[in-house]
Amino acid sequence: MWTGRETLGSIEGAIGKLYREESQLDASLKSAVADTERLRKERAEALRELARVKLDEMAAGRLINSLDAGERRAVQILDDYRLRIANITERRDALFKEVAGAQAARDAAAKLVEEALAAVEALRAEAEGKVQAVAAWREAKAASDAANAVAGEAEKKAANAEAELGAKRKPYDEDPLFIYLWQRGFGTGRYQSGHLVRVMDRMVANFIGFTDVRPNYAALIEIPLRLREHATAQRAAAAERLDALSTIERRAMIEAGIEPRERALNEARHKLAAADRTLEDKANLLRKADDERTSLVSGGSNPAYDQAMTTIASADAKDQIAALYAEARRTPTPADDAIVRRIEGIDGHLAKAEAELAGLRRTAQDLAKRRIDIERVRDRFRGAGYDHPHGTFGNDRDIADALGRTMAGTIAGQILWEVLQGGYSTRGPMGRPDFGYPTSPFPFPIPGGDRKGPWGGEWRDPSSRGGWTPNGNDDDFSTGGSF
C-alpha cells in the first residue's frame, strides 16, 4: 500500500525519467544535425571539384558561386538550429535539476506535516482515552448526547412540517379570493381600505367563510415556523452542551501537552505551503522551456530547419548540376567518375542521416506527448487532493504497471487516472473527530467532510480547517492544477 505522498513521488519519478530520456535524445538530435551539416559540406565540395574538372572556367564559376551561396546560408541555419538545440537542452537540464530539488524539498515538507499530524492525533487519542474515566467528562458527555438527540428530533419534526406545508396549504393558495383577502390582511390590524372597498371585501369574506378558515391557514403556516424556531433553540442548547464537553476535553489535551505539537503542525503546514509555491515557480519556468523545445523539435513549427532544407534544395536543383552529371557520365575520364561515385555515396549517407534526423524528431515529439500526459495526471492528482496525509492507495502494483505503460505510450493517461481513482481511499482520524474541537472536526482538514469544508487540494492551505472532501470525480483533464 502506498500513501498519497508516495504515490505522487512515483508519478513525479516517471516524469523525471522521461525528462532524462528527452535530454539524451536531444544530444542525439544535435549530433544528427551536425552529421547532416558535415555531409552537406562534403557534397558541396565534391560538386565544386567536379565542376572545375568538367566545365569551362566561366560555367564552373557560376555554378560554384551558386553552390557557395546556398551552402553558406544552409550551413548557417543548420548551425544555428544545432546551437539552439544545445542551448535549450542545457537550460532544460538546469531547470529540471532545480525542479527536482524543489520536489525533494516539498516531499520533505509534506513528510514533516504527516509526522506532526500523527503526533497530534496520537496525543489526542491518548487524552481521549484518559478523560473518559473522569466523572465530569462523563456527565458532560451524557448531557451533550441528550441535548444533541433532542435537537435532532426537533429538527426532524421541523423538516417534516416544512415538507408537509406545501401540500396542506395548496387548496388555500389556489383560491384567488382567499389569497386576495389574506394578502390584504383582512380581519387584522394591518388591513386598510376605503369604505366602499371594505364593504365589498366584507361581502367576499362572508361569501367564502374567510373568518372561519383564516385561523386554520394562519396556524398551518405558523406551526412549521414555531417548530423551526424550537429546533434552532434546541440546537443552540446542544451547542452549549458540546462547548462544555469540549472545554473539558481541551483542558485534558493541554494537560497532556498538545499545544507544542499543534504549533509544530502549524509550522509544518506553512513550510509545506512555501515549498509548494517555490516548486510551482520553478515548474512554470521549466514549462516555458518545454514549450520552446517542443516548437524546436516539431517539424511544422520549425521554420529555421525548414528554411535550411529549402535553401539547400534550391541550390541543388540548378540545371547546371544536371548538366554537370551528364557531362561527367558522357566522358570516360576516371577522375570525374570517381567524384561522381563519391557524390552518390555522400547522397546515400545524407539520405540516411536525414531519415535518422526525422526519426529522432518524431521520437522527441512522442516522448514529449507521453510526458505531458503523465504531467496532466500529476496535476489532476494534486488538484483532487490525493496526496493528503490520510490518503492511501491499496493497488500500488496496478498503479506501477499503469504508470510504466503510460510512460511506454501503450495506454493513455486517462487509464492511469482511472487506476488511481480505483485504488484511492482515506483513513479516518484517530479517536472522535470533534474531540476537543467543537466548531470543526479537527484543526487540520480530515477525510469525511462536505462541500462546506476544504475541497481537493485546498487542504494544503495552512488556514483551512474542518472536514476535507477529495475532488476526484471530474473527468476533465484540463484542471489547471498547480505543479
Q: Given this model, what pLDDT does residue 329 score?
A: 64
- Structural domain boundaries enclosing 217: 130-259
Place of cell 520553478: 282
Whether 109 is covered by a domain: the verdict is: no
114, 274 in Cβ contact below 8 A? no
393, 399 in Cβ contact below 8 A? yes
Q: What's the rounded Cα separation, in Å, for the pair 339 and 300?
A: 36
Place of cell 492525533: 121
Whether 237 is covered by a domain: the verdict is: yes
Whether 97 is covered by a domain: the verdict is: no
Instruction: Give the mean pLDDT of 321-327.
Output: 63
139, 248 in Cβ contact below 8 A? no
Place of cell 386576495: 180
Mean pLDDT of the chain: 83
Least confident residue range of 93-102, 169-178, 302-311, 415-424 = 302-311
Whether 247 is covered by a domain: the verdict is: yes
Q: What's the rounded Cα separation, in Å, for the pair 358 and 30?
A: 12
Least confident residue range of 20-24, 234-238, 263-267 = 20-24
Whether 168 is covered by a domain: the verdict is: yes
Instruction: Give the mean pLDDT of 57-69.
Output: 56
**Residue 71: is its pLDDT beyond 70?**
no
Structural domain count, the chain: 1
**Residue 173: is its pLDDT beyond 80?**
no
Beta-carbon-side half-sphere exposure of residue 251 (alpha carbons within 13 Å): 10
Among candidate residues 23, 7, 12, 9, the one with its CA nearest the CA of residue 290? 23
Place of cell 497530534: 120
Instruction: Give the mean pLDDT of 427-453.
Output: 77
Give the pLDDT band (50/70/90) at residue 421. Answer: very high
Q: What's the rounded Cα separation, in Å, for the pair 43 and 55?
A: 17
Give the pLDDT band (50/70/90) at residue 326. Answer: low
**Residue 434: is its pLDDT beyond 60?**
yes
Torsion of CA 213, 217, 220, 225, to 10 degrees: -140
Instruction: Give the mean pLDDT of 193-205.
Output: 83
Least confident residue range of 99-103, 140-144, 246-250, 292-296 = 292-296
The amino acid that residue 40 corresponds to is R
Q: Given this model, what pLDDT does residue 115 score?
A: 95
Phi, psi of 393 (to 5 degrees): -130, 110
Instruction: Give the mean pLDDT of 409-414.
Output: 91
The edge-to-edge listing of strands for the beta sheet with 2-3 is 2-3, 391-393, 424-426
Among candidate residues 457, 451, 449, the one with its CA nearest the CA of residue 479? 457
C-alpha cell at 33: 544535425
Whether 63 is covered by a domain: the verdict is: no
Q: Which residues of 118-127 are buried (b: 16+ CB within 10 A; e: fewer)?
A: ebbbebbebb
Q: Given this model, what pLDDT does residue 4 score?
A: 93
β-partners of residue 447 are 468
Whether 433 is covered by a domain: the verdict is: no
**Residue 250: is its pLDDT beyond 60?**
yes
Whether 194 is covered by a domain: the verdict is: yes
Higher pLDDT, 238 or 311: 238
Q: Given this model, what pLDDT does residue 477 score?
A: 43
Q: What's the rounded Cα separation, in Å, for the pair 79 and 86?
A: 11
| pLDDT single digits (tens) 12-22 | 999 999 999 98
Q: Given this model, what pLDDT does residue 483 score?
A: 36
Length of the chain, in residues: 483
Q: SS3 for 429?
A: coil
Instruction: Give the mean pLDDT of 376-396.
Output: 92
Q: Given this model, what pLDDT does residue 129 score?
A: 92
Q: Which DSSP helix (H) or strand (E) runs through 248?
A: helix 210-256
Q: Which ranges in 298-412 belong to alpha helices (H)?
A: 303-316, 319-330, 334-384, 396-408
Higher pLDDT, 467 or 238: 238
Q: Given this model, what pLDDT does residue 348 score?
A: 87
C-alpha cell at 83: 546551437
**Residue 445: is its pLDDT beyond 90?**
no
Q: Given this model, what pLDDT does residue 122 score?
A: 92
Instruction: Give the mean pLDDT of 326-351.
Output: 76
Q: What's the rounded Cα separation, in Å, for the pair 321 and 347?
A: 14
